[in-house]
């Protein structure tokens, strides 16, 4: 009987511990940590699960993720998503293909409790790839509530032949 009670107590304690919220405060303490966490949390090898709880923790209530792209008629369009929509849309593809998005240049502007980060990226299927599968620019708007930084909008445009990334948004060549 004593062993059964100990087992029940252990299971209850384990269940309560599993439900406790993780402390992600260091991930959102600064603009740098918030942006670094954004890139890190969506990146991973083929078959590697992403930390979607941490991903959702980055975004303010009703934040938007906005992708630009072309529709079937080759017209430029926008796709508005919540963090949940992004997960539903991207999770399987990220797991099936692997995806590593790396920031290669950043410009940050701040005023009071708002910040705008223009972040140029390269994306690879694997950390070992030499050539990016895509490049683009993330426009990240952030809000500081006095306790932490929140992403309120993440708006991106992928580079194309018609729209190359301007030189001033690329890292300076070391040659």
**pLDDT at 16 (0 to 100):** 47
Residue 163 has pLDDT above 80, yes or no: yes
Q: Is residue 2 part of a domain?
A: no
What are the Cα distances from residue 26, in Å, to 40, 46, 117, 153? 14, 27, 19, 20
By percentage, how much of the chain surpasses pLDDT 90? 83
Distance CA 157, CA 164 (A): 10
Q: Is residue 142 part of a domain?
A: yes
Q: Is residue 69 part of a domain?
A: yes
In this structure, the strands spanning 114-124 and 134-144 are: antiparallel
**pLDDT at 17 (0 to 100):** 46
DSSP character string of 9-50 = HHHHHHHHHHHSPP--GGGGSSHHHHHHHHHHHH-B-TTPPP
Distance CA 112, CA 105 (A): 23
Residue 47 has pLDDT above 70, yes or no: yes
Token representation of residue 153:
């909008």
Backbone angles phi, psi at 90, to 5 degrees: -110, -25
Residue 103: strand pairing partners: 121
pTM score, whole prediction: 0.85
Q: Is residue 22 part of a domain?
A: no
Q: What is the CATH number of the domain that holds 93?
A: 3.10.450.50
Residue 15 has pLDDT above 70, yes or no: no
Q: Is residue 87 part of a domain?
A: yes
Sequence-distant (6+) residues with CB within 8 A of 31 are 108, 110, 115, 117, 142, 149
- Domain, as residue range, for 149: 27-161
Q: Is residue 14 part of a domain?
A: no
Write out pLDDT tens, residues 75-101.
Answer: 999 999 999 999 999 999 999 999 999
Question: What's the total number of domains in the chain?
Answer: 1
Q: Is residue 167 part of a domain?
A: no
Average pLDDT for residues 40-57, to the nearest whole number? Answer: 97
Q: Of 170 and 74, which is predicted with more confidence?
A: 170
For the chain, state the CA radius of gyration: 20
Contact 95, 49 (CB under 8 A): yes
Q: Is residue 82 part of a domain?
A: yes
């Amino acid at each position: 009987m004593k062993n059964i009670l100990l087992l029940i107590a252990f299971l209850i304690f384990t269940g309560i511990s599993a439900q406790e919220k993780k402390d992600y405060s260091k991930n959102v303490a600064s603009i740098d940590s918030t942006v670094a966490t954004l890139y890190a949390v969506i990146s991973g090898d083929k078959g590697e699960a992403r930390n979607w709880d941490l991903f959702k923790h980055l975004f303010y209530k009703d934040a938007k993720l906005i992708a630009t792209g072309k529709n079937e008629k080759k017209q430029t369009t926008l796709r508005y998503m919540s963090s949940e929509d992004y997960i539903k849309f991207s999770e399987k593809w990220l797991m099936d293909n692997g995806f590593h998005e790396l920031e290669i240049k950043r410009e940050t502007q701040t005023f009071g409790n708002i910040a705008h980060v223009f972040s140029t990226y390269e994306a690879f299927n694997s950390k070992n790839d030499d050539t990016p599968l895509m490049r683009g620019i993330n426009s990240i708007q952030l809000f500081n509530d006095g306790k932490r930084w929140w992403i309120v909008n993440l708006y991106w445009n992928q580079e194309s032949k018609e729209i190359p990334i301007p030189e001033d948004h690329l890292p300076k060549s070391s040659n």
